[in-house]
Amino acid sequence: MSAHKSSKRYERQMNLQSLPENFQDILQSSSVLILGAGGLGCAASLYVAAAGVGKITVVDRDIVNEPDLNRQVLYTPEDIGKKKAKTCEEKLHKFNPEIECVGMCKVINEKLLKDLVPRHDIVMDLCDNYPTRIKIAEACQKYNKKCVVAAVNGLEGFVMVTNKESACFGCLYPEEVKLSVSPPRVLGAAAGNMGILAAIRCILALCDVGKVGVMYCLDLINMIVDEIEIPKNANCHVCCKA
């Protein structure tokens, strides 16, 4: 008997009418690559683990700093100075011992993506810089993997799922957008909100449920959600080369 069928952990999410009957089996046999263990990554990884995804790999090269604590909810003051990825691994394993979690304190570059992206079912791009996001989009296009892209700024954010046929991050942002304030300002709960939404999109995408190539933009002050279908750019410097 599989672990989830003998455990009460998942009983409240099993047999959801909008998802396949074997939803929990799909999650248990799936692997998710989470790139970025910051405000978005902490919330997303927690709920992906809570759902029972069988394997989670978290990559982040940074250590925990005090200004991170307003939004990176996996970490506590005692974690300041520790590596985010390894701390995330430890806490997710304690949170759900039924899953496998690996934390990697490494720079996200082409070599790492070449190794990791093909070995996972879906990628979550929860990074905070444009060049890295472009590298991730290129790898997902090259290896034909779905990618959940999410971002937050202040009290706004967006989330989108991409695949080989849809628009990619390069179609969405052909050029880097410079933020007016550095480091960017963000309410912790806004980052958590977008991370949780990214987790939902990831879980649904693993079950082939939900729209691809559609950007959901959230205005959290006015509680407005805009659904924008992003057309694939025939001249995209990312997906037109893949």
CB 26 within 8 A of CB 207: yes
Instruction: Report which of residues 127 and 4 the model is more confident about.
Output: 127
Helix axes 39-51, 188-206, angle to 10 degrees: 40
Residue 2 lies in a domain: no
Residue 104 lies in a domain: yes
* pLDDT digit string, tens, across residues 65-82: 999 999 999 999 999 999
Q: What is the pLDDT of residue 1?
A: 40
Q: What is the pLDDT of residue 51?
A: 97
pTM of the model: 0.95
If pLDDT is split at 50, 70 and 90, which confidence band does 103 have? very high
Least confident of 6-10, 57-61, 83-87, 109-113: 6-10
Residue 9 lies in a domain: no
Residue 8 lies in a domain: no
Closest by CA to 229, choosing from 183, 167, 150, 147, is 167
Q: What is the pLDDT of residue 240?
A: 78
Tokens linked to 32: 């998710």
CB 41 within 8 A of CB 49: no
Tokens linked to 212: 């691809």
pLDDT over threshold 90, residue 10: yes
* pLDDT digit string, tens, across residues 185-240: 899 999 999 999 999 999 999 999 999 999 999 999 999 999 999 999 988 989 87
Q: What is the pLDDT of residue 179?
A: 65
Range of the domain at 55: 19-229
Residue 242 lies in a domain: no
Residue 223 lies in a domain: yes
Tell me how far CA of residue 57 lies from CA of 49, 188, 231, 233, in angstroms.
11, 23, 30, 31
* pLDDT digit string, tens, across residues 148-190: 999 999 999 999 999 999 999 999 888 887 766 667 789 999 9
Residue 127 lies in a domain: yes
Tokens linked to 218: 């959230």
Q: What is the pLDDT of residue 177?
A: 75
Q: What domain count does the chain have?
A: 1
Residues 6+ apart with CB under 8 A from 224: 218
Residue 241 lies in a domain: no
Q: What is the pLDDT of residue 4?
A: 53
Q: What is the pLDDT of residue 176?
A: 81
* pLDDT digit string, tens, across residues 16-56: 888 999 999 999 999 999 999 999 999 999 999 999 999 99
Within 10 Å of residue 148's Cβ, how many Cβ atoms?
A: 27
Give the position of tokens 């810089």: 129
Residues 6+ apart with CB under 8 A from 7: 98
| Coil, helix or strand at residue 207 | coil
Instruction: Return the CATH number at 217.
Output: 3.40.50.720
Tokens linked to 50: 């809570």
